[in-house]
A and B are shown apart, each in its own frame.
Chain A
């Protein structure tokens, strides 16, 4: 199934520059957002990972068309 990946700010660097942080990827059913993010080499414990704008429950698997969004945890805005 297809899911959308959105990496913002400094995490854009984990994808080729022309992607501007966005990719559509094919994943098997049963995949979790954390698995995808960790697989890119992004440090999970320093990150906020959202699926369709909210924090997934532990072990929650992705659906067709889910948007996986990640950025470095920080303070301030």
Chain B
């Protein structure tokens, strides 16, 4: 096979054995790769209703056919598993170096099953697969864990691992790779912790086959040059995603004080120019990325000293404006700590801001927290982030995520989450397509499952009105399916949406189809690739339905549906998700309960 190796490494942690499986070429094509293959293995291999932290859950690391190819940003992998935070599926994406090194081992997927009796890590060097003791590393933070694993294996290898948060089954726990990159969302680190799997070390000498080697070298490299040329003076290179708070604040959709409002008075202290002036050392990049959007930073401010990567926009929104914090040194420090303990900045920030609101409303008594915890308390935010990572005191409640926290006090409505996954940084009252995405996405409130904010907010491929619901169901369907392709292929969405799709808001994968064909030789057309994506999307939906999700779960917190925004251009608006849902279901070929019809399943070959 080309692009795909068609080889899967299955590791049975309970019995400390591994097997190597091959993949049928037709299956490879029909499910694209990465995220697409993974859901099929999950569906066939486990009961979707199983407890996410039990040995029955499967944890899958999935690269795509373009991971490690000359396509620009071909450096991603996906962690696919059942989420302990949400009780549904998760697809958690990361870049950096590890995914490319994983691909060089000669396997497309690593599948972990069962539970090791004692802490272990996996070392894969081409076909040599070793399960090693990690008892001496258990308890250590991500940077130290990474260094020890590299010292014990090979200094040129790459590591994905968990920190103390994952070990303690904190539901915000991430799987960190290359120290600072995160498959962050939905508590994937807790699944790894529940399996007593501390880390995965990978390297190898395998190269993927190319259906048209010369063609892909020429086309992939020309595309990389084009992206690189356009990125030299681009906002993502110069300011990174921290340019965004100014934009969302202007549009009145910057998460502020647990989404009570969409405008933050301290925005100028937490924006891109503020970060560049104070803490930016240089931009950084995932493996061979010509865009270079990462932020390598250093903080000297007393009390917040540190060095590392971040913060990204999402971290600034969750740990900053949502907590009412405009101290950028504190936000950056909090980001470093999340990386070191191994946690998702969004769930951490949104859970703490949920606690802050409930404390201010008198719902969480001070005696439970041990001290006041108010919006704007930068040091409180940092203190409780650490307690959350270690499950100390009130941190034990925070560690369950915002929904479980709010529900335990009888007020789940204070959790800004959909399907129990905390919201990212776009208030759906002022970006209505995003509201439909959050309500219907197969992992809960994630922007990464079909980020229509590119069009509603950022003008890519062109600016569309964020305040209407007209045509949004069709757009969301198209964008969700498009993001399946990007994820399954192994590319970064920042590059792919702008450069590998056509320039119409109803995006179609024109150049992406060419990249896929040159690499795999699978003869996709944009339409057949879209259909494969729809197949994957529907199989994911079936997983959710079997996990117990109903139509009632395709919704948003009452705040977004009932409390209009009061400032900015979206003042007076609520998220009109309910109005869009019937049209969305119909376009998807689902019945009025949100269940795929038999006809749809037959059309997709899923019956």
Using A8-B247, A53-B250 as known contacts, say yes or no to A75 and B238 having CB atoms under 8 A apart: no
Residues from chain B with a CB closer than 8 A to the CB of A52 are 569
Is the CB–CB distance between B425 and A77 below 8 Å? yes
B75 touches A (CB below 8 Å): no
Say which size band chain B's interface belongs to. 35 or more
Interface positions, chain A 14-71, Cβ under 8 Å from B, are: 20-21, 47-48, 50, 52-55, 67, 69, 71
Is the CB–CB distance between A71 and B236 below 8 Å? no
Partner of A76, one of B238, B241, B248, B252: B241
Residues from chain A with a CB closer than 8 A to the CB of B457 are 77
Is the CB–CB distance between A73 and B460 below 8 Å? yes
Interface positions, chain B 65-113, Cβ under 8 Å from A, are: none
Residues from chain B with a CB closer than 8 A to the CB of A8 are 243, 246-247, 271-272
Is the CB–CB distance between B465 and A77 below 8 Å? no
Select from chain A the residue with minimum beta-carbon distance to B271.
A8
A2 touches B (CB below 8 Å): no
Using A9-B246, A12-B273 as known contacts, say yes or no to A74 and B463 having CB atoms under 8 A apart: no
Q: How far is the CB of B278 from chain A (nearest CB, A)?
A: 14
- CA gap between A69 and B248 in the complex, in Å: 12
Is the CB–CB distance between A10 and B238 below 8 Å? yes
Is the CB–CB distance between A75 and B234 below 8 Å? no
Mask, B421-438, CB within 8 Å of A = 1, is 000010000000000000
**Complex interface: stretch among B390-398, B403-411, B490-498:** B490-498
- CA gap between A67 and B249 in the complex, in Å: 13
For chain A, the count of residues having a C-beta within 8 Å of the partner chain is: 23
Is the CB–CB distance between B250 and A75 below 8 Å? no
Is the CB–CB distance between B460 and A75 below 8 Å? yes
Using A47-B459, A48-B458, A54-B569 as known contacts, say yes or no to A77 and B273 having CB atoms under 8 A apart: no
- CA gap between A42 and B293 in the complex, in Å: 23
Residues from chain B with a CB closer than 8 A to the CB of A6 are 246, 250
Is the CB–CB distance between A9 and B239 below 8 Å? yes
Q: How far is the CB of A76 from chain B (nearest CB, A)?
A: 4
- CA gap between A40 and B497 in the complex, in Å: 29
Residues from chain A with a CB closer than 8 A to the CB of B493 are 75-76
Is the CB–CB distance between B243 and A50 below 8 Å? no
Residues from chain B with a CB closer than 8 A to the CB of A76 are 236, 241, 293, 454, 458, 493-494
Residues from chain A with a CB closer than 8 A to the CB of B233 are 10
Which A residues form the contact surface with B (CB < 8 A)? 6, 8-10, 12, 20-21, 47-48, 50, 52-55, 67, 69, 71-77
Which B residues form the contact surface with A (CB < 8 A)? 233-236, 238-239, 241, 243-244, 246-248, 250-252, 271-273, 293, 313-314, 425, 453-454, 457-460, 462-463, 465, 467, 493-495, 497-498, 568-570
Question: Which 5 A-B residue pairings sit nearest by Cβ, starting from the closest?
Answer: A73-B459, A53-B569, A48-B459, A76-B494, A9-B243
- 6 inter-chain pairs at a CB distance below 8 angstroms, sorted by A residue, are A50-B251, A53-B250, A73-B460, A76-B458, A77-B243, A77-B458
Known: A48-B458, A53-B250. 6 other contacts (CB 8 A): A8-B243, A12-B273, A20-B273, A53-B569, A75-B454, A77-B247
